[in-house]
Structure 1
């Protein structure tokens, strides 16, 4: 079992011929992901790497190749339209890697997706991987190990750090989900925690948050009331000065809200074991699992 993607997932890459799109499509194919189509308007009929057919529209890729998940490497001005196109074509999951998508564009897309069955991951995220089965995004596949721990994170780099620590400890992962750090996005922590909670092959979770907003506090409340599995956590940005954006567009302490201390306190009150540093995320997960027996 896994969440969101598995060995049967059929992926279409929107923007497959761009510099980043081609690089990461190639890496996903090498990992074993079923990249069945690319979409680049005006290049329909061509092939990527002499293997993957390219279409002008996502609808054509879905109809001809059975693609059910889209990965988007379209530049920021067109990324929202690319998300909408994939959803309209019937993709069940849309993973938008693009960084710098205008916030107002994302507000419109969130409204557009209301009532639709399409799940959006991102934008500005590293993607989703079920180790040994399917990698969609920019994460380094070689650090992952198949197993039973879910990792959900607002930070791409810290996702890799947590995964590297887990794998070094001999602890494999079920599915790792980078939700991105933008203020308006698709899946949030609670959405992913629900999926982990219902997945029999996920036995524990690492949740990696950061300063800005209240997503971690809302997740803590949900964990307290609903989570059946042990959760370890880490909050990045403890030393960040108020009013200054740190890295992600959503990583800003505004009006005294969204501090690392607030988020850590909320998670601890919900029974989450919070790592004191990014270097101890794997060990903290071990402790959380041991505490649950």
Structure 2
């Protein structure tokens, strides 16, 4: 059992023939059960060809029909990435993971609206995210596989590098991860902290969770308020950007303090008030989690 993906997941790579798509499909395929999980690629101009034995199809729908693919990962450049997401949604896949950074906000607004208007059951992770991993089973995305270890700690994060930092600390403490999920740092994205917390809360193989956020937007506060009344498992938190000045975008497109409640200090305060133990030091995420187990 895991959340979102496992060793039986079948993945189609959109953008498999580009340099980035090739590199990360290769590394993901080499991890754990990846050889059996990565079953298709998509490029309308190269249908009928293959990438190192992975067949390439003209469309996501064709790939799904031929291989049973139920998850897509997208390495398409920003200008075409929203169209790639929509193609996967129209094919009615279970999950679409968009790694692409720099997609115009207007494109994502349109995608979210269209998904809602058709009542799409497809889940979207990202864009501008590192992907997700269920250790020793499957990784989909750009995270380094070797730092992960199978265990019972769930990790959800807006920041890619801080995901890896939390993973490495938890691995070093001998705890390991059930799944680690990078939700991405764009202002308009798919799955939020609250969505992933609900999944971890319901997952019998997850005993505790680290939630990593950053300045900008209401997502961490919404998740904390939900967790206060619903979370049955220990939850600790870290918010990046304690020293960030208001009005200045820091790193991610979504990391912009626009009001009083989306500073790091304000979020940490609300999280603590909701019973979530927090730290302002990213090097303490693992030990903080261990202290509440």
TM-score of the two chains, using structure 1 as the length reference = 0.97
Output one character per residue of 1:104-148: Cα deviation in whole Å (capped at 9) or x when no partner: 111111112121110000000000100000100000000000011
- Residue 198 of structure 1 is matched in structure 2 by 202
Q: Does residue 1:282 correspond to 2:286, yes or no?
A: yes
2:91 to 89, 92, 101: 89
Paired with 2:128 and 2:206, the residues of 1 have a C-alpha distance of 25
2:242–2:280 contact (8 Å) kept in structure 1: no
Shift of the alpha carbon at 1:256? Answer: 3.4
Alignment match of 1:48 (pick from 37, 46, 51): 51
- Cα distance in 2 for residues equivalent to 1:254 and 1:207: 22
Partners of 2:157 and 2:182 within 8 A in 1: yes
The Cα offsets for residues 191-227 of structure 1, whole Å up to 9 and x where unpaired, read as: 1011011111110000000001111111110010110
Aligned length: 288
Q: Equivalent residue for 2:248?
A: 244
1:58 corresponds to which residue?
Answer: 60
Q: Is 1:9 the equivalent of 2:9?
A: yes
Does the CA-based 8 Å contact 2:156-2:183 persist in structure 1? yes
Query: Could you tell me which residue of structure 2 aligns to residue 180 of structure 1?
Result: 184
- Mapped to 1, the partners of 2:202 and 2:223 lie a distance apart of 16
User: In the alignment, what sits opposite 1:110?
Assistant: 112
Alpha carbons of 1:257 and 1:276: their partners in 2 closer, same or farther (altered >3 Å)? closer
What is the match of residue 22 of structure 2? 22
2:175 is aligned with 1:171:
yes
Name the CA distance, whole Å, in 2 between partners of 1:174 and 1:286. 15
Q: Check whether the contact 2:261–2:267 (CA below 8 A) recurs between aligned residues.
A: no
The ranges of structure 1 where at least 4 consecutive aligned residues each deviate by more than 2 angstroms after the TM superposition are none
TM-score of the pair, normalised by structure 2: 0.97
1:85-234 mapped onto 2 (5 Å cutoff): 85-114=87-116, 115-234=119-238
- What's the secondary structure of 1:174's corresponding residue? strand
Q: Is the 8 A contact 2:260 2:266 kept in 1?
A: no
CA RMSD, 1 decimal: 0.8
Q: CA deviation at 1:257?
A: 3.9
1:242, 1:256 within 8 Å by CA — same for their partners in 2? Answer: no
> Cα offset for 1:48?
0.3
Distance 1:161 1:255 in 2: 28
Deviation at 1:255, TM superposition (A): 3.4
Q: Which residue of 2 aligns with 1:259?
A: 263
Gaps of 5+ in 2: none
